[in-house]
Amino acid sequence: MSYFILIFALSIPLSLFGQSGASELEKNYQQFEQMKEDFFKSVINKKNLKPKLGALIRNLDELFEKTKDLELKKSKSDLSPEANQMALDLVLLEPLEQLADSKMDKKACKEAAHLNDLYESSPDDKADNRTKPVEKVIKKVCSK
């Protein structure tokens, strides 16, 4: 009887950590998404792209690292869908990073747009519209 009580007592904090770990992952992910959304809703132009994007990437990277630490505490081998999504979302911002680091001339604009197109290479993926927000920013920055 005492054996069962012991197992029960031990399992409570473990399962609680599992739940709080999972909700913490979700919280981080939501925060990550919100930061991205705020950036895309803001006014972006040639002048402020580099500082604004730099700040965004720093914050997103920080959250990504935090999420990986949480993930490690939760399980040594399983990779969480939240951190996988964050890794993908960070890659999808690369065409903007490339543009921000360039002269932002016609050639640089064309190359950034091409990289963005490459990140959405299949007609099947187009339903996701995952490259649309970046495409809009490239157009905005490059049209002026």
Considering beta carbons, is residue 40 or 119 the nearer one to other proteins?
119
| Residues in contact with other proteins by the rule CB under 8 A | 29, 79, 81-85, 87-88, 90-92, 94, 111, 114, 117-125, 128
CB of 17 to other proteins, least distance (A): 21
Which residue, 32 or 39, is less far from other proteins as judged by CB? 32
Q: Which is nearer to other proteins, 6 or 91 (CB)?
A: 91
Q: Work out how close the CB of 52 gets to other proteins at its nearest, in angstroms, rounded to a whole number.
A: 22
DSSP the chain: -HHHHHHHHHHHHHHHHHHHHHHHHHHHHHHHHHHHHHHHHS---TTTHHHHHHHHHHHHHHHHHHHHHHHHHH-SSPPPHHHHHHHHHHHHTHHHHHHHTS--SHHHHHHHHHHHHHTT--GGGGGG-TTHHHHHHHHHHHH-
Nearest distance in Å: CB 33, other proteins: 9
